[in-house]
Structure 1
Amino acid sequence: MKKEHVIDLLPEYLDNILPETKSAAVEKHLSACTQCQKELEELKILFKAIADEPNAVPSDRLRNRFEKALELEKATTTKVVSISEGYKKSSWASNMLKVAASIALLVASFQMGSVFQQKKSNDDLAFVQNESLQLKQTAMLSLMENQSASKRIQGVNYIEEFPNPDEAIVKALTNRLRYDENDNVRLNAFEALSKFTSSETVKTAFIEALGTEKNPSIQIAIIQALVQIQEKKAIGPMQKLLEREDTQPFIKNEIKLGLPKII
C-alpha cells in the first residue's frame, strides 16, 4: 500500500466499513500521500452534499393538488341523473375516462417532480464541484506565495487541475516566471504558462521575461515559444538581446534562427 494509492478504498473508509487492519493501512498511507489526502478531502465534501440532499418524495403542494382534484372528481361524479340505461353506461364510461385522466395527471406530476428533483441534484453537484475548484485555486495561490521553493513549485504544478484557469491564476504564474528568485520555480512557471500561449497576458509575460531572464535554459525556452506562436511583438526584444554583449553566443544563435520565422 506504500507504492499504490488507496483512492478506491476511500468511500468504504469514510463509511467506516473497512476491516480494522485495512482501515489502519489506509490511515498509514494517507499520512504520507498528499494525492490521496486531496482525494479524501474532496470525497468528504461530496459525501456531505449527498447527506444534506433531501429525499426525493412528493411535496405537500403536489399531494394537496391531487387531493383537491380527487375531491372535485367525487363532487362531479355524484351528480348523476338516472334517465335511461344507455345514459348510465355513457356516464360510467365518461367517469372512467375522467379517472384515467386523473391518474395520468398524477403520474405526470410525479414525473415532473422527479425531473425537478434531478435538476436540483445536478445543481447541487455543480455547486460542490465549483466549491472544490475554489478550494484548489486558494491552495494553489497560497502555495505559490510560500517561502519554500519546493512548495512554490508544487503550487505552480497545481495548474493541471485547471484546464481553463482564470486571470488570477494566470497572473500568479506570470509573477512566478518574472520575479521568482529560484530558477526551477521560474522554469516550472514557464512550462505551465506555455499551454496557454493564446492569452495576451501570457504573451506579454514571455516578452517581458525575455529581457530580464538570466538563466540560459529558460531564455531558450521562451525564445522557442515566441517563435512557435510567431509573436511579432517579440522581434524588438530579441534584436536587443542580439545587440547586448553579455548575451550568450548560443542564445544569439537561437535568436538568429528564430527571427526569420517571425518576420
Structure 2
Amino acid sequence: MVASRACLALGVLLTACRRDAGPPVAAAPPPDLPLRAETESHTAATNGERFGDVMMGVSHEEDEATDFHLQLEAAHCYWLAYAGDARVAKFSLYIWDPSGKRLDSARGKKPQGLFTHCATQSGIYRLQGKVAEGKGHFAIVAYRTRAAATASAAAPEVAKVESPKADLAAIIEAQAAAAAPGAKRVGNYFAGSADSSDWFTVMEPGHCYWIIGAGEPKKVKRLYVYLWDPKSHRITENRSESDVAMVGHCAKEPGMYKFQVKVESGKGDYKAGVFVK
C-alpha cells in the first residue's frame, strides 16, 4: 500500500512537471517582435540613430542564453530595447567590455524593456540576452546617441608647467650647415614620435642628398637612419649613439627613395630633413 501511494505521488509529480513544461517553442518568432523592440528603443532615444541589425534569440529552456558581439564607440550611449514573446516571463540582459569585464546588467526584468550603456572605450563588446523565466523568442534593437559631456570633462584642467621643447629644426639646420655647406632643404620637415617612421623623397642623378634626423635631447638616446633606393635595396644607414643621425647619398638613378628614422633607445619626438646639393 505504501509503495502504491509513493508511485501514485510520483506519477502526479511527473504529470505536473510535464504540464509545466508546456509545448515546445515555435520554430519562428512572432512577426511583431522586432517592431516592439524597435518602438521601445526609438521612443527612448528620440534623437538617436538606429544601430546595427535586429538581434534575435531563442531560449528552449529557462536560463538559456544567446551572445551577441557589437562594435561600440567611446563617447556614445546605446539604447538597447528588448522584447520577448508571450511565453517569456522574465528577461535578463548583460554587457561585457572589450577586456571581458562585465559592466552592467538588467536581471529578471519584465519581458519588454530598455537597457542603456554609455561606452567609455571603443571596441568589441559582448552582449548577452537570457530568458530568466519561461522560454521563447526575443528581439533586441539598439539606437545610438552621442554622450553628453560630463562635468568633469567640461572642467578646465590645471595648467601643467612643462619645460620648453628643443628646437629640432634648428639642430638639423646646424648639422646641415656643418656637413653640407650650401645645401638646400627639400620640402618640409618630417616629424614623428613612434618607434620608427618611414618616409619617401624624390632623388635625381647628379645630386647629392643628406638626410638628417634629430630627436629630443635627454629623451631620445639613440637615433638610427636607414635609406633604400627605388628598387627597395638598402643602400646606407647610420646607427648613431646619440640623438642625431645623418646619412648621405649621391643619386645615380632617379626615383622615389625610402628612408626610415628609428628610435633605438629612449622615447620622444623627432624630426628629419632632406637636403640637396
TM over 0.5: no
TM-score, normalization by structure 1: 0.23
Point out the structure with the larger strand share.
2
TM-score (normalised: structure 2): 0.22
